[in-house]
Every structure is written in C-alpha cells, then in structure tokens.
Amino acid sequence: MPREILYLKIAKILENQILSETLRTGDKLPSLRSLQKIYNVGLNTAQQAYTLLESKSLIISKPKSGYFVSGTSKRKLALPSVSNPIVTATKNETEYLTYKVFDVLRDKSVRQFSLGVPDEKLLPISKLNKGIIKVMRELDGSGTAFEPAQGSLNLRRNIAKWSLAREGELSEDDIITTLGTMNAIYLCLNAVTKPGDTIATESPVYFGILQLAKSMGLNILELPTHPVTGVDLEALKQNINKIDLCCFTCNFNNPLGSLMPDENKKALVELLTHYNVPLVDDDLFGVLHFGETHPTLCKNYDEAGIVMSCGGFSKTLAPGYRIGWIEPGQFKEKILWNKLVQTVAMPSLLQEVIADFMENGRYDHHLRVLRHTLYTNCLKFQQTIEEHFPDNTKISQPQGGFFLWLELDKKIDTRELYDIAIRQKISFAPGSLFTGHNQFNNCMRLNFALKWDEHVYQDLRRLGNMVKRQINL
C-alpha cells in the first residue's frame, strides 16, 4: 500500500479506538518505534500518522514522554467565570470552615480531594531516606551544629544551578532558604509591609495568604482573575494607588491553575516598577508545568529588584520537610536580618538531604515523572467530571500544578455540599475558603496529585451524582 495512504489508515484505526474509548483520555499511545513494529512501517509513516491525529486535537505530544490521548476533543464544559471581588461585599471569618475541612486531613478513610499537597504515593520517600542516612554521616556534627543564617550553602548552590535552566542568573548568594513557602511569603511581607498597608492578591486566592495578611494587620484587595491568564492588569492599574504590595502566583495559581502570559508579566513588572510597588511572586508550582518548559518568572523582567520570588519543595517533593526559598531582590538585607533575629538558623539536615537529591539530576527525573502523572490525571479528572457532573458545570483548564477549580450551578452551596460529601467519605475544598468576599459559594477545588485508579473514578462519579441530586432538590 502506498505510504501516504498507509499513514491515513493507521491514523483512522487509532482515531476509532479513541472515539470508542478503547483508548481513553490520558492514555499513552504506542511509541513511534512500537507503532513501526506493530504496523510494519517506517519512521516517517508512523510520524505522519501521529501528526495527523495531533492536528485533529485527538492526541497530544509531550516531549520525552510520548503521545497521549487528548481530552480537548471532547471538551464540552465551559471555563469558570472571571471573578469580580471588587463589587462583592466582604464576609466574616472563614476560619471555622478551614478547621473543619483540614481537621479530617489525617483520616485515611476519606478521599482527600481537599489536600494542598501531593499524595505520599507520588513522593520518592525511600530515595529521600537513603539521602538522610548519607547526609547524616557526612554533615558536620550530623546536623547538630548551626548553619549560616542565609541557609544551607549546598542547597542554595543547587537551587541557583538548577534555575539556570530558567534563564536565571542566580548565585547562591541571591537565595535565602525558609521554613517552607508560606514562611517565605511571611518573611517578605514582614520585611516590606507594616500594619495598615494594603496588599493586592488574586481572586480566588490560597486562603493561607488571606489568613497571614490578616494576622499581620494588612488589608487585602482581591483583584479579578481570569482562569487562564491570571490577574486582570487593568483592574490592577485602576487600583494601583491603594496598593502597597502585590502578592501573586503567576504560574499555575492556586486554585485556578492560570498561567500569566509573558507579555503580561512584562507589563506587570513595568507597571509596578513605575509605581514602586513591590511584588511577591510565589512560584511554588512552576516546575509542575504540562508544557515543554518551565514558564518564565516575573523576576526575568525585573531590573529594579522589586520582585521577590518564592519557591519550595512542599508541592513537589517533601511537604513535611518545610523547605522553601526567596530570591529577595533589593530587599535581601532586611529579609535576612528578620530571619536571623526571629529564628537564628533553620535545621540543616533536611536541607542537605534535598541538596543531595538535586545533585546528579535525581530531582529532575522525579519531576519529569511527576509532571507526566499530573498531566495524565488532569485529563482523566476532566473527562470523568465531564461524564458525571451536570452539563452546566464549569471547569478550569490548568496548564500545570494539580488543582481543578469547578464552578457549579448557582443553586449549589458547596459548604452544605461539603457536609453531605464528608458523610460519604469524600472531601474537597469549598470555594468560599478562597476569598474574603461573598463569592465562590458554588465553587470547589479538587486536588489530582494522587494515584489514579478505579476508586478515584468512582469517588468522582459519586461526587458528581451528589451535585446532581442537590440541583434537583
């Protein structure tokens, strides 16, 4: 058979398998080499078949991973609305709700779609443990001695080296390690703001930031945020005179999964430089990109040093180790001094374990596997939700990270739904946690950083049925 028709035939076979769901969303297709063997064709033919399927959006190519059945061809759910917090009244404390949701975190009989970190099964625990033993033997005093105030030199060196891949120009001296990423944000705010100041955030926004700002006596201005592109820069510009600092997660915002385009990052930094408003950019999810490369950081556009970039290992490697960092820009001295007087130093042992893990590409390898798993899970979650949730459900389209943000029928109050679901041993994070305003009451955040299996599918299905029942009441 002529080659050009052969590739069409192969593509047709695969297309049918996809449409009949023999091959399901997120499933990995045969490699090019395997395809050649199966159909006894050359590389070109195999490649052409896949190129055709890609052009039809039936499959997606992930570099160094392979080809996957794409979800987009079936997408029928809309994106969530853009928030508009400025016109929405503020509300009372969400603290009780936070306690209620996160009190059940350790209950292993509950499906934890509410977690803020990856499931333990996705973490390289035994490799880290080997690292603990190794470091314990090599470290001066086995970790009983103080480390420098700025943090483990080895870890800072590895972070600097590793950031080169992101067009960074860091040296270890540009980095301060912290007790996790919330602590990094806290140290930045502590150095740069004072009680009574106003900080601008995204909306929805991780509730930890709302709670932290409130505890520091700061006012919060939530800005409208687009589920794909992030913060609305026009709204920011209109309110710039009220704002003392911006605190954003430009790469894969929690919970929206939005990714601010490069040109917006550039414009954002220019705007803030002009008005001398510092920016805390929390990049704790940046490495969990589904695309080919790590997205840029606002810091890449920062000449004046007004951007404080934060990073960490809580979402990717070891949440309980509590290790994050700040690239502090012009605020280094103040941040470092505060860290020193408030804590003297951090424990060195676990920082050295992570530094050791980063050497020789082991962290890179772990991240590649994790990204692959997350991307696949994202597609499977989306497909399952499309199947079993009501048609008017809106769902985010994250390009990285591990959260999905759902906007349900306006009849639904997800705080009430939470109580129903928890009796069925399913937990999620109700939307109203993610704002200080009276909004998102029909929204929820789901975490897909877990091991996908039939039980996860069934739990999502049951959750969808609960939503349908609530609508029909």
Residues at the site binding a second copy, with contacts judged by CB under 8 A? 105, 117, 120, 123, 125, 128-129, 132-133, 136, 141-147, 179-180, 182-183, 186, 194-195, 208, 211-212, 215, 317-322, 337-338, 340-350
DSSP SS3 for 140:
helix
What whole-number distance in Å separates Cα of residue 190 and Cα of residue 111?
36
What whole-number distance in Å separates Cα of residue 82 and Cα of residue 36?
46
Query: What's the count of helices (H) and strands (E) in the chain, helices before strands?
Result: 15, 17
Task: Tell me whether residue 158 is exposed, middle or buried, using C-beta atoms within 10 angstroms of its C-beta: 0 to 12, 13 to 18, 19 or more.
Answer: buried
The least CB distance from residue 211 to a second copy, in Å, is 5
The least CB distance from residue 140 to a second copy, in Å, is 8
Q: Is 152 left (phi over 0), alpha (psi -120 to 50) or beta?
A: beta
What whole-number distance in Å separates Cα of residue 22 and Cα of residue 434?
39
Residue closer to a second copy, measured from CB, 86 or 349: 349
Residue closer to a second copy, measured from CB, 226 or 322: 322
The least CB distance from residue 357 to a second copy, in Å, is 12
DSSP SS3 for 431:
helix
Find all residues with CB under 8 Å of 453, minimum gap 6, and list them. Answer: none
Residue closer to a second copy, measured from CB, 20 or 215: 215
Find all residues with CB under 8 Å of 472, minimum gap 6, and list them. Answer: none
The least CB distance from residue 186 to a second copy, in Å, is 4
Residue 315 to residues 155, 160, 202, Cα–Cα distance (Å): 17, 19, 20
CA nearest to 362, candidates 372, 374, 350, 370: 370
Residue closer to a second copy, measured from CB, 45 or 348: 348
The least CB distance from residue 340 to a second copy, in Å, is 8
* Structure tokens belonging to residue 316: 């990717």
CA nearest to 263, candidates 220, 292, 296, 288: 296
DSSP SS3 for 145:
coil
The least CB distance from residue 133 to a second copy, in Å, is 7
Residue closer to a second copy, measured from CB, 76 or 137: 137
The least CB distance from residue 199 to a second copy, in Å, is 14
Residue closer to a second copy, measured from CB, 146 or 275: 146
The H-assigned helical ranges of 30-115 are 32-39, 43-55, 95-103
**Tokens 């385009």 appear where?**
261
The least CB distance from residue 98 to a second copy, in Å, is 10
Residue closer to a second copy, measured from CB, 207 or 448: 207
Residue closer to a second copy, measured from CB, 13 or 125: 125
Residue closer to a second copy, measured from CB, 350 or 358: 350
The least CB distance from residue 125 to a second copy, in Å, is 5
